[in-house]
Structure 1
């Protein structure tokens, strides 16, 4: 458990330390995705508040610039900490499991500039 909690804490610190790139700030991304941290780390049942956060974040990112900013925030956080392939898979599958269609994949290799 400690091996999972430390990377998640580092993820949150790295997100919080970055400035806003679009109308949706990285602080808003953290606030909306924070309830998802346990699922990403351990799997199991997705908290309802996690899906609510993903829906809210998707709704707040109205323009291409907003969506690109959210993507960059998530991508930089994923790139700043070592995650297992299982953790990355859990993160990538969250939107679909919550019934939200994002215009990008949650993955460190996503090209955020290509998001429309």
Structure 2
């Protein structure tokens, strides 16, 4: 029961932060899309274990949609801002996900990540 409450709070914080964030002018990816694609990954970032169903598909979909530098920077900002609002999120686990899903990510998520330097 307690895990369910933590997940609901974390998911709510992520969803709200992603939906409120302004879209980036030249980017074709919105924070709402990023949220939808990465929501299945939240439980892994919090608790580890098995990669949840839909998580890898979401990461791969996000990567496929990130065709420009502006898209990758917008993606980075959405993920960074949303992750910062999830209490207990383990950044090391989050950074493991692309490898576990057989793909890559153009940045390592951290508290001090400078998304303006993402190419």
Rounded to whole Å, the distance in 1 between the matches of 2:17 and 2:97 is 21
Match of 2:63 in 1: 58
Query: Are the equivalent residues in 1 in contact too, given 2:11–2:39 (CA < 8 A)?
Result: no
Q: Alpha carbon RMSD of aligned pairs, Å?
A: 1.6
Query: Are the equivalent residues in 1 in contact too, given 2:80–2:111 (CA < 8 A)?
Result: yes
Rounded to whole Å, the distance in 1 between the matches of 2:52 and 2:83 is 21
Match of 1:67 in 2: 72
Match of 2:113 in 1: 110
Rounded to whole Å, the distance in 2 between the matches of 1:7 and 1:48 is 18
Shift, 1:4, TM fit = 4.4
User: Which runs of structure 2 are paired with 1:1-116 in the superposition (5 Å)?
Assistant: 1=3, 2-21=5-24, 22-84=27-89, 87-116=90-119
Aligned pairs, how many?
114
**What TM-score, normalized to structure 1?**
0.88
Query: Are the equivalent residues in 2 in contact too, given 1:78–1:107 (CA < 8 A)?
Result: no
